[in-house]
Amino acid sequence: MSAVASGAAPMDDTFSAMLDFCLGCRACEAACPSLVPYGELLEAARAEVEAARPRRSIGALAWGRGVSSRPLVASLTTGVRVARAIGVGARLPGPGRQAAGMRSLSDRPPSRRGDVFEPAGEVSSTVGLLLGCVMDEWFRPVHEAVIAVLVLGGHRVVVPESQTCCGALAAHAGARDEATRLAERNQAAFGDVDVVVADAAGCGAHLKGYGHLTGAELPAVDVTELVAAALADGRLAPVPSTGVRVGVQDPCHLRHGQRIMDEPRLVVAAAGYDVVDIDPSGMCCGAAGSWSLSHPEEAARLGARKAGEVATAGVEIVASANPGCEMQLRQHVEGVRIAHPVELYWEAVRAGR
């Protein structure tokens, strides 16, 4: 990137292919002693490549405008649901390839867009819940658990009607103008809350980086940070241990992008489970946002590697705090439940363990 920026190397197809092949996992960023913000540099370089094209790439159009369109994502969801019902879901093209890793789309709870949830007692803070794009269509049970736990911990939870996609996929695809537009819209939508909560690691990492797009920071946290804090100060209580072992998978944009490792483990332990680290090195599972769609063979190899680590750990449940990782794991791991850490905690609380 430095060579291209200085003019020592051309911005050609070879350079573009090198950028595209990068997972964007940001593991190098976490390990860099000079704290080089590689994630921001990668997005900026991809934006320069996209701007130099004679016409917009399909990826920039799809991830810049497609996923932020609620009607389009809803239509895609309906199509996937029908395809799965008639047994052809695994043969869908493009994003439909991940249908095998999706949760059941039947009997979903309603979207909570526009709702406000009040705690029973004193309000510790007002938080805004980011619904996301695919999260709100495909992972609504995660939102339900997150809302319930945050309210139990004393938070007022606001779900703004005017919010939109976080813009992470747009930024990763080089669609910088769309990413900036989405960031500005969310900053306006969440202007009246104390902090914005994300229950998808990729979304949270991107929200925390809005400053380099708009010049204004957005106060944002991953939900495991809030839940772990509520457990630490007694607003939430751990449940008795069950002795059941649960593997914890670290999404790259949680472990590397946000430097969050302890909090998901604390939440899983508070749910009464024995925490098992399935991959201490934190290797990417191969989902990497839209990367698994553009590089399916390489993504499959990484997914198979992660499946081997789960099998070695010998667990029947894996906690993952990112939708792409969850879907990737489910495609490659058999006989193992994949769930969000906060889901596991809320289930334990409801069960009265």
Mean per-residue pLDDT for 257-261?
Answer: 93
Q: Give the mean pLDDT of 304-313.
A: 90
Average pLDDT, stretch 199-223? 94
pLDDT confidence of residue 97: 58
What residue segments make up the domains of the chain, in order of their start?
237-351
- C-alpha–C-alpha distance, residues 141 and 323, integer Å: 12
163: phi then psi, degrees, rounded to nearest 5 = -70, 165
Encode pLDDT of 60-90 as tens digits: 666 666 676 787 878 877 777 777 777 665 6
Q: What is the pLDDT of residue 113?
A: 96
Which token pair is 340?
């969000």
- The CB-side HSE value for 60 (13 A sphere, CA atoms) comes to 19
CA pair distance 191, 193, nearest whole angstrom: 6
pTM: 0.90
pLDDT at 55: 65
Give the pLDDT band of residue 194 (cuts 50, 70, 90). very high
Instruction: Provide the pLDDT for residue 342.
Output: 98
Is the CB of residue 308 less than 8 Å from the CB of residue 294? no
CA distance 19 to 25: 12
Q: Which amino acid is at 286?
A: G
| DSSP designation for 326 | H
Task: Note the pLDDT of residue 288.
Answer: 78
**Run of H or E including 221:** strand 220-222
DSSP 194: S
Nearest to 279 by CA among 296, 298, 254: 254
Q: Which of 85-94, 202-211, 298-307 has the highest mean pLDDT?
A: 202-211
Whether residue 187 is predicted with pLDDT greater than 60 in this model: the reply is: yes
Compute the distance between CA of residue 271 and CA of residue 248 in angstroms, rounded to an integer.
13
Q: What is the residue type of 16?
A: S
Average pLDDT over every residue of 202-222: 94
Mean pLDDT of 302-309: 88
Q: How confident is residue 285, by pLDDT bands cut at 50, 70 and 90?
A: confident
Q: How far apart (Å, rounded) are the C-alpha atoms in residues 50 and 28?
A: 24
DSSP string, 121-153: S---EEEEE---SHHHHH-HHHHHHHHHHHHHT
CATH T-level fold of 237-351: Rossmann fold (3.40.50)
Q: How confident is the model at residue 316 (pLDDT cuts 50, 70, 90)?
A: very high
